[in-house]
Structure 1
Amino acid sequence: MDSSPPDVAVRIRGLRKVYGGLAAVDGLDLDIHHGETFALLGPNGAGKSTTVEILEGYRSRTAGDVEVLGVDPAHGGRDWKSRIGIVLQTGGETGLLTVREVLRHFAGLYPRPRDVDEVIEAVGLGAKANTRVVKLSGGQQRRVDVALGIVGRPELLFLDEPTTGFDPEARRQFWELIRSLKSEGTTILLTTHYLDEAAQLADRAGVIAGGRLLDVGGIDEIGGADARVPLVRWTDAAGEPHEERTHEPGRLVASVVDALGREPEGLEIIRPTLEDVYLGLVRTVTDLDPRSASAAGADADAEEAVA
């Protein structure tokens, strides 16, 4: 593969990963640009975690070419690893140390770490800085995971389901933290099952199912224009329900009001959300794909046992 263009942080061409007879990732092509927040979306067993683990250098690939910050992650050394940050679905930090002790230890592994106390405040753990991690709630431990991911001042940050266990207020505080990292130029690859989170944070998104990338584009573009046509619903004078998709919902509603001479019963204008578009894309594949999430998970678990 030719070297990545200067504006590309992650470049993937023809990526394949096969477990036994199952292609968990099947011919994936993708570019992620420096400074953007990219959401990789898909159901369980779609190939998201496998793809991300290959990019992080934790899993080998069967075929294809990958560059992350200009380096093949299969051969990334210590200098390369110091340039990336990772927030896994589950943390592995020791619970016997305090929050500040854990962060200081990890900060010492990087050439240009962030100030530990600033990181602790940024993830909302200022009041818990001297508390042992094992004594924290699940949501607070998740914030420690995030702190560990950003303390090294990464150029590229991998966030795998980062707000699992967060309450709504904590999640919105986390969103502000991610926006601040983005404003500093950090490239972010986010996987999440919260579609509202992807819509809030991501510049672009890719939807993966059956090991293949179904679509990729801006948050307001993915799925194409047809998938985003508003739906108008109403009930006529005889009590019959109607619904119609139109690019001009206001004009349609005005015509219905003129015809009835009054406000129609049950009037709704429904504008498709990212979740609606996502579900429409995934449904067309999962209904046809004989693979199941459980089969994909079983094959992944089998490789973990061998590794």
Structure 2
Amino acid sequence: MTKVIYIIFLAKIFSELHHRDVYLPQLIIPILFTVLPVLLIFVEPDIGTAVIFIIIFLGMIGTLRIPLPRYFLYISPLLSLLCGFNLISWIIFMLLLIAALLFANIKFRDGLLLFLLNVLLGSLAPKLPLLLKPYQKDRLMSFLNPSWDPTGAGWHILQSKISIGSGGFFGKGYLNGIIKNLGFLPQTRTDFIFAVLGEEFGFLGTLILILLFVYFLAKILILAQSAKDPFKKYLAYGILFYFSSQIIVNIGMTVGLLPVVGLPLPFISYGGTSMLVSTIFIGLIFSIRKRLYA
């Protein structure tokens, strides 16, 4: 339910900034409202949900009237955090940032604030691994090299790939997945349900599912672009980024393109909370559409 409240709050804030040039001070409240739940969720720890909040925020501010160069400057603290794990890459990034700030058409106060945020987050990056639990470090290592611990942390990814690959083009048939039935693939009803679908329905079945997801997301995008009311527009955008991030991250981790972070596949994975949030968002989408064509 936190995601529902979060997206509604951002939609309300951003609707007041509609048709206006947006500068950094106007984003302070949305940033704080994003950082607070992200930190609390990260401490739990639940990195997957924290990532979803960040993706929703970055996606929604991208729909505001912010020129692309200024948008990248505003998200530069996150880039500094990523580059901060390597000293040389971070120094190069900071030099490029200083050059960009000197030539950017932004206020000195905003530029100074961005610079300080970049220095702060970049300096904190080397200490972040100390906050990770041992199993989270193992997941990252197994993502980079699944064969590093094939019977431990890398087991999920390896069995997921084997399951998807063994399905072939047409699959083995409903409930006939050998990898799943023998218990080699864990969490078959939640995080790795896409791998089960790949084994039972093959490439064709998963392709149809992905195309259905693409059609579903495209309809939400069209609705967001068509909405005249700013609040409904940003609400639809927030729902779009929620579903798209969940789908991409879940499928990405089952095929080994992303680390295992424990996110369900919307409408497919078993789980009451995930289904409740998804149905609430669908209800909001229907409400927006009803008023759009009323």
Q: TM-score, normalised by structure 2?
A: 0.26
The structure in which a higher percent of residues are helix is: 2
Q: Which has the larger radius of gyration?
A: 1
Q: Which has the higher strand share?
A: 1
TM-score scaled by length of structure 1? 0.26
